[in-house]
Copies of this chain bind each other. A is one copy, B any other.
Amino acid sequence: MTDKQVTIQREFGGGGRPRPIMLAIAGDSGTGKTTITAGLVKALGAERMTSVGADDYHRYDREERKGLPFTPLHPDCNYLDIMEQHLHHLSLGHPILKPIYNHDTGTLDRPEYVEPREFVIVEGLHPLHSKVSRACFDITVFLEPPEDIRIKWKLARDTKKRGYTTEQVRKELEKREPESAEFIRPQRASADIVVRFSPIEERGETADDPLSAYLLLRPTISHPDLSSILSDDIRTAMHLKLRRDADGKPVDSVHIHSYAKREETRQVEQAIWDELGVDEPVPDALGMIDSETRDEPLAVTQLILLYHLIQARKAVDTNG
């Protein structure tokens, strides 16, 4: 099956069943995929949204991987053909029997029956790896914090939640680096939105300061009209810039400062939300880190993703 066939099949529909809206959140390990996803699931409600970890398609368990010349970042370490097959099924509204990789034990466990709801978020290392997998998504996101931030996040999680030592994580990061460059980072080029949480270097901020969000909005999907939303009075906390990406192609770049105030982001959120023309108020579950701290750049980022999810849902429901 080619990517074109997948696209056509999705547009024609799968026999009357309403197809779900599919959002990919790709990025290396420790880039914040789970945090972004959690807020979106909370905002829309778990009963409307299925969240799928795309990193369960491991070909080998932890024990077997020890003797191998590559890390889980390498395509050969995963059943990416099965991942594609499953993404395709989900995108047509079909259930799948998803493999499970147990992060605690490092074993491949009993698979799980997953039925796609109205919205499906797929987060992982490889969701944008191939043309066919990309054709399964309505919205594609790539996360790329600066490397020192990512290492800090990954260290925190892997030592606290996955039982590794700092030394082990650092060694693994080193081993993974060439495969990250070869197989993970190229997916950035296929994302409609690139998200970078980062300190503002020009202000001398470091990884320990609250982070700003830099969003790259590619014209591959139709974004909310931020040029009219970001009026003069909030431009200190948030601004929009037309620029060229590293590849020379035109993009909108949105910068949401870490010191953006709640009342400013509230205005922006409301304006984005109003464009959707839906009845409900702006969801208040956004921007939460570890379900404690509210973070304005994260909240606005999630709201933009939410905007796309709802917009895509409306478009599919209207046209077929």
Contacts and interface: CB of A to CB of B under 8 A. Distances in A.
A96 B113 CA distance: 15
Interface residues of A, number: 22
Nearest to A83: B97
A289 to B, nearest CB: 34
A82 interface: yes
Contact of A59 (B96, B109, B113): B113
A91 to B, nearest CB: 14
A116 interface: no
Interface string A73-110: 00000010110010001000011110100000001111
Contacts of A85: 89, 94-96
22 contacts: A1-B14, A1-B15, A2-B15, A59-B113, A61-B110, A79-B97, A79-B113, A82-B95, A82-B96, A85-B89, A85-B94, A85-B95, A85-B96, A97-B99, A97-B111, A99-B110, A99-B111, A107-B110, A108-B111, A109-B110, A110-B110, A111-B111
Interface of A: 1-2, 14-15, 59, 61, 79, 81-82, 85, 89, 94-97, 99, 107-111, 113
